[in-house]
């Protein structure tokens, strides 16, 4: 049994124990105003209701806030419906293979269960998200004169939701616009908090000094090492490394290990392009090139990194014969390769694993910062924000790749704690806000759409349309999970 199976088994065991305990204590819990629905607890409290009245006093501000929220929800609804339609098209035309993205455990944003949402930071982000969302509903309810009977948390072993319990009769007695403000309040509050938290997160990235990092050590280094300096120069990029080496016979390298220890090494500066594999039936295979080797020159021109290697290859032509100087098992060999064709230029047939430096495959943590800071500026920024955890979970495990600078230089790992917290507060508020825009009751978007349709087509038709749209949305979500896993398991 692998570690993932053990983890899932442990979670399921804990959940079953929890469910058994609350079933036994159901009577006592309900006497304390806690509703038990299967494994779900609805914990109510009247604490905070006076604070609601205080916060609701600037009624004009909150009504403008609610009106803006209606527009935000409608825009978010259009975006989410578009994503659902795209998802349906992909599932039915070219079903994706089973993957973490289609794993049922990753559908719910439950920290620790969802493998993309870390337990600690996920819980912090989820709690903030729920409090913001439900408090905003409750504040707008009070602004519109609707009594809030209680506030509460939805618990299923861990907090998975929150709620404000308005008086339903009073809510239905209010005019349509007032109800729509109340429905949209939670979503727009999540969006505002997400914007603020993302702004702080992106600003804090500026306090990180990136380094060259050891992705795979072949000799001299250890995986996860950070190369701080080469010949006394700080190095962050491939160009920095090239400049620091500068045709020297030996280089002094300052390295920081994952345990924080520093060590200096004097090494012979061998640089090149690491080859992780050879593609079948290609020129590289025909001449006998091997994986785990390093191309250090093409036609006598040094290739100290992938960028230089690609520039050289783009100038080659199909059927041209090139001389490759290759480091294999600590020995240099020369291969004469007749290139095939790819995109109009020559093609060797090797799988590139990254830049090679003095016995290690190296990467650049600056790329992590650049990939994150470029998200809001890119044309597809909204889509990348939506899928952000698929390619970045947190700074846990990679803190050695950076050094805090400026204000945070003397505060240890504080910067990483703040980055992780603000990242998950931002993303969970963003995603929960978007998800609630879906036009499906009981989500806020569904309630708002229902009220809007009643104004246009009447109550009976609106209820029917809303019901059909909700069935379509939830069916699409289920299908997107079932089809990939069923299709590829048959």
Give bridge partners of residue 274 from the DSSP assignment: 294, 354
Question: 3-state SS string over the chain?
Answer: CCHHHHHHHHHHHHHHHHHHHHHHCHHHHHHCCEEEECCEEEEEECCCHHHHHHHCCCHHHHHHHHHHHHHHHHHHHHHHHHHHHHHHHHHHHCCCCCCHHHCHHHCCCCECCECCCCHHHHHHHHHHHHHHHHHHHHHHHHHCCCCEEEEEEEEECEEEEEEEEECHHHHHHCCHHHHHHHHHHHHHHHHHHHHHHHHHHHHHHHHEEECEEEEEECCCCCCCCEEEEECCEECCCHHHHHHHHCCCCCEEEEEECCCCCEEEEEECCCEEEEEEEECCCCHHHHCCCCCCEEEEEECCEECCCHHHHHHHHHCCCCCCEEEEEEEECCEEEEEEEECEEECCEEECCEEEEEEEECCEEEEECHHHHHHHHCCCCCCCHHHHHHCHHHCCCCCCCCHHHEEECHHHCCCCCHHHHHHHHHHHHHHHHHHHHHHCCCCCCCCHHHHHHHHHHHHHHCHHHHHHHHHHHHHHHHHHHHHHHHHHHHHCCC
- pLDDT for 173 equals 86
- pLDDT for 4 equals 47
**What is the C-alpha to C-alpha distance for residues 188 and 195, in angstroms, rounded to an integer?**
10
**What is the C-alpha to C-alpha distance for residues 79 and 434, in angstroms, rounded to an integer?**
9
Q: Work out the angle between the directed axes of helices 414-435 and 119-143 (0-180°, nearest 10).
A: 50
Regions of the chain with pLDDT less than 50? 1-2, 4, 489
**What is the C-alpha to C-alpha distance for residues 342 and 282, in angstroms, rounded to an integer?**
11
Q: Which tens digits make up the pLDDT trace of 173-209?
A: 888 899 999 999 999 999 999 999 999 999 999 999 9
Instruction: Write 403-409 long-range contacts (CB < 8 A, 24+).
Output: 403/208, 403/209, 403/211, 403/226, 403/228, 404/207, 404/208, 404/209, 405/207, 405/208, 405/209, 406/206, 406/207, 407/207, 408/207
179 near 451, Cβ under 8 Å? yes
Beta-strand pair 226-230/233-234: antiparallel
Distance of CA 89 to the CA centre of its chain: 23
Torsion angles phi and psi, residue 347, rounded to 5: -135, 130
**What is the C-alpha to C-alpha distance for residues 215 and 208, in angstroms, rounded to an integer?**
19
Q: Work out the angle between the directed axes of helices 176-204 and 119-143 (0-180°, nearest 10).
A: 150
Six-digit token string for 447: 């309630």
Query: Hey, how many other C-beta atoms are within 10 angstroms of the C-beta on 361?
Result: 22
Q: Which tens digits make up the pLDDT trace of 123-181?
A: 899 889 988 998 899 999 999 999 988 877 777 766 666 677 788 888 888 888 999 99
392 near 372, Cβ under 8 Å? yes
194 near 427, Cβ under 8 Å? yes
For residue 303, give the nearest of 293, 288, 289 by alpha carbon: 293
* Burial group, residue 391, by CB count within 10 angstroms (0-12, 13-18, 19+): exposed
287 near 336, Cβ under 8 Å? yes
**What is the C-alpha to C-alpha distance for residues 310 and 323, in angstroms, rounded to an integer?**
15
């Amino acid at each position: 049994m692998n570690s993932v199976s053990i983890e899932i088994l442990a979670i399921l065991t804990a959940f079953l124990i929890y469910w058994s305990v609350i079933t036994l204590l159901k009577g006592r819990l309900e006497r304390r105003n806690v509703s038990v629905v299967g494994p779900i607890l609805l914990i109510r409290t009247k604490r905070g209701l006076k604070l609601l009245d205080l916060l609701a006093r600037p009624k004009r501000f909150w009504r403008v806030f609610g009106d803006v929220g209606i527009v935000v929800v409608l825009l978010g609804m259009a975006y989410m419906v578009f994503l659902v339609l795209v998802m349906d098209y992909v599932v039915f035309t070219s079903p994706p293979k089973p993957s973490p993205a289609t794993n049922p455990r990753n559908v719910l944003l439950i920290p620790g269960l969802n493998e993309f949402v870390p337990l600690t930071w996920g819980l912090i982000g989820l709690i903030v998200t729920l409090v913001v969302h439900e408090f905003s509903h409750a504040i707008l309810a009070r602004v519109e004169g609707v009594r809030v009977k209680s506030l509460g948390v939805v618990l299923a072993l861990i907090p998975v939701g929150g709620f404000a319990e308005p008086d339903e009769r009073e809510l239905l007695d209010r005019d349509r616009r007032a109800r729509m403000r109340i429905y949209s309040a939670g979503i727009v509050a999540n969006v505002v908090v997400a914007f603020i938290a993302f702004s702080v997160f992106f600003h804090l990235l500026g306090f990180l000094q990136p380094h060259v990092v050891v992705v795979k050590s072949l000799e001299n280094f250890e995986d996860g090492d950070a190369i701080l300096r080469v010949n006394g120069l700080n190095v962050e990029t491939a160009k920095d490394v090239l400049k620091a080496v500068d045709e020297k016979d030996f280089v002094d390298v300052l390295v920081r290990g994952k345990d924080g220890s520093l060590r200096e090494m004097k090494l012979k500066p061998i640089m090149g392009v690491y080859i992780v594999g050879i593609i079948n039936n290609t020129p590289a295979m025909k001449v006998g090139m091997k994986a785990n080797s390093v191309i250090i020159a093409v036609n006598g021109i040094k290739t100290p990194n992938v960028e230089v290697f690609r520039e050289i290859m783009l100038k080659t032509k199909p059927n041209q014969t090139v001389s490759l100087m290759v480091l294999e098992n600590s020995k240099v060999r020369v291969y004469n390769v007749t290139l095939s064709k790819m995109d109009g230029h020559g093609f060797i047939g090797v799988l590139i694993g990254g830049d090679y430096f003095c016995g290690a495959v190296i990467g650049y943590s600056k790329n992590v910062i650049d990939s994150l800071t470029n998200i809001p500026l890119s044309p597809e920024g909204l889509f990348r924000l939506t899928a952000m955890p698929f390619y970045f979970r947190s700074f846990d495990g990679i803190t050695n790749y950076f050094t805090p600078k400026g204000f945070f230089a003397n505060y240890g790992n504080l910067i990483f704690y703040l980055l992780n917290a603000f990242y998950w507060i931002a993303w969970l508020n963003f995603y929960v806000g978007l998800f609630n825009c879906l036009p499906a009751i009981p989500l806020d978007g569904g309630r708002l759409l229902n009220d809007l349709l009643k104004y246009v087509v009447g109550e009976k038709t609106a209820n029917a349309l809303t019901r059909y749209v909700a069935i379509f949305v939830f069916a699409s979500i289920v299908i997107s999970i079932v089809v990939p896993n069923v299709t590829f398991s048959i």
